[in-house]
Amino acid sequence: MIDLKNKLILVTGSGTGVGSGIATTFAKCGADIVVHYNSSKNEAEKTKEIITSLGRRCKLIKSNLKIVEECRNTVDEAATFLGGLDALVNNAGLTTPKDINDIDEDHFNDIFFLNFRSYFFCAQQAIKHLTKRGEKLSEFKKKYNWAGGSIVNISSVHGKLGYPGHSVYASTKGAINSFTKQLSVELISKHIRVNAIAPGTIEVPSYFEKDPSYNREFGNSMVPWGRVGLPEEVGYLAAYLVSDLSEFMTGEIIHIDGGLTSAMNLNTDKKN
């Protein structure tokens, strides 16, 4: 396990799915966690139970990150409970596929406000807490070489690949990728790393809820590697990015997709 002992971390959208996988993996590595959620209260409570059963501190925060003030309050409340902030994982997101001709202003804003705007303002609010944490650690441990704070943005393969009905969703992921690069440059002087993880087909409960006909066999058939990914696998990669081991890495978008973005989607049975 990667050592995250005594790390103080906020993970947005971590009541269920990929976010829950990230939060629980962090706890297994020794971190104290704030689990943010909006509508998944029951799932968030289960996530908290797992974290506390591992002997780690955990707090649930319910908020609507489509509202800028709630982004700021969530980060501040998390830092207050934890006693500081070593890392922020921006994971909250919404996927609602729709044909481009059917998209209205409300639909567009609904997805963009949560999927991208919340990342921006949560990151903005976290900067001061991440900086203070470094100053506090350096003061507490004289000559301590602080590895730096960390912001991890959860993107998607949709930021690179096209798929029907995802014009708005994919645009938010492209924005996240660009934001990650830009923010990493702006925060180098503050010794804060900014990276993004772009998952491919990661099997989460919503797969089964949205499509009752979905099954693991079908999911596996969609991935070149031959199987779907799991939330905890994204968690392991995120754990590396918030750990001291990744001090030299910033401004990167890392795909974890079983080869999806590398494979050409060609019909090899087609005759020339």
Per-residue model confidence as pLDDT tens digits over 120-171: 999 999 999 999 998 888 776 666 678 889 999 999 999 888 888 899 999 9
* Measured distance CA(81)–CA(17) in Å, rounded: 24
- Contact at 8 Å (CB) between 8 and 84? yes
**Is residue 214 among the annotated active site residues?**
no
Distance CA 158, CA 260 (A): 11
pTM: 0.91
pLDDT in tens, 176-224: 999 999 999 999 999 999 999 999 888 887 776 777 887 788 888 888 8
Structure confidence by residue, pLDDT tens digits, 54-92:
999 999 999 999 999 999 999 999 999 999 999 999 999
Strands ordered across the beta sheet of 58-62 = 58-62, 32-37, 8-11, 87-90, 149-154, 192-199, 253-256
Q: Is the pLDDT of residue 118 over 90?
A: yes
User: At the topology level of CATH, where does 8-256 sit?
Assistant: Rossmann fold (3.40.50)
The upper half-sphere exposure of residue 232, i.e. CA atoms within 13 Å in the direction of its Cβ, equals 7
Interacting residues of 150 by C-beta distance below 8 A, sequence separation 6+: 86, 87, 88, 130, 192, 193, 194, 195, 241, 242, 246
In terms of pLDDT, which residue wins out, 42 or 207?
42
Alpha helices in the chain (DSSP H): 17-28, 41-53, 68-82, 105-112, 118-140, 167-186, 205-210, 216-221, 231-242
Pair 110, 103: CB distance under 8 Å = no
CB 192 within 8 A of CB 254: no
pLDDT at position 142 is 64
Question: Of 169, 207, 214, 240, which is the active-site residue?
Answer: 169
Q: In whole angstroms, what is the distance from residue 178 CA to residue 159 CA?
A: 10
Residue 151 burial by Cβ neighbours in a 10 Å radius (0-12, 13-18, 19+): buried
